[in-house]
Chains A and B, each alone.
Chain A
Amino acid sequence: MIPSDPDILFDELLAGRAIGDMSPAELRELAVLEAELGFTPDTALELLAASLELNSLPENLAPLPTALAGRLYQWADSIETPSSRKIIQAQVPAWKIIARNPINGWAAAAAILILSLLLARKDDPQPPESAAIRLRTEAVDLIERKFEGLGNFKQANGKVIWSDQFQKGYMTLSGLPVNDPRQAQYQLWIVDPTRDADAPVDGGVFDIPADGTPAVIPIAAKLALSKPQAFVITLEQPGGVVKSKQEQVVALAKN
Chain B
Amino acid sequence: MSAPICLPHGSPSRSFGQIPRAVYHPADFSHSRNLNTLYPTTSDEILPQVAAGENDAMKRCIDRYGAIVWNVVRRHVKETADAEDLVQEVFTEIWKKAASFNPNVASEVTFIGMITRRRSIDFLRRQGRLPGFESLDCAESLPDSPEDPSTISCHADAVKSSLAVLPEATRQLFDLFFENGFTHPEIAEKTGLPLGTVKTRLRRGLLTLRDHLRRAGITNTQTAS
Contact = CB atoms under 8 A, between A and B. Distances in A.
B114 A69 contact: no
Contacts of A68: 70, 84, 87-88
Nearest to A158: B81
A54 B110 CA distance: 8
A11 to B, nearest CB: 6
Contacts of B109: 54
B179 A56 contact: yes
A136 B88 contact: yes
Contacts of B28: 47, 51
Contacts of A44: 148, 150-152, 210, 214
Interface residues of A, number: 63
Contacts of A11: 207
B11 interface: yes
Contacts of A111: none
Given A54-B72, A137-B96, A72 B203 contact: no
Contacts of A16: 199, 203
Contact of B16 (A41, A63, A159): A63
B187 to A, nearest CB: 11
Given A47-B110, A63-B14, A79-B95, A136 B89 contact: yes
Contact of A19 (B70, B177, B214): B177
A62 B117 contact: no
B148 A50 contact: no
Given A20-B117, A62-B74, A136-B88, A72 B202 contact: no
A103 interface: no
A76 interface: yes
Interface in A21-79: 21-25, 27, 31, 34, 40-66, 68-69, 71-73, 75-77, 79
A59 B34 contact: yes
Contacts of A80: 53, 55-59
Contact of A48 (B35, B136, B206): B206
B77 interface: no
Given A48-B210, A54-B68, A71-B84, 18 more contacts: A19-B199, A20-B125, A20-B130, A43-B151, A49-B206, A50-B110, A51-B28, A51-B159, A53-B113, A53-B178, A54-B110, A56-B179, A63-B67, A65-B84, A68-B87, A68-B88, A75-B91, A80-B58
19 contacts: A15-B203, A20-B117, A21-B132, A27-B136, A42-B148, A43-B146, A43-B151, A47-B110, A50-B114, A55-B29, A55-B35, A56-B181, A60-B5, A63-B7, A63-B13, A66-B13, A72-B66, A72-B87, A80-B55
Interface of A: 11-12, 15-25, 27, 31, 34, 40-66, 68-69, 71-73, 75-77, 79-80, 82, 85, 88, 133, 136-137, 159, 172, 174, 214
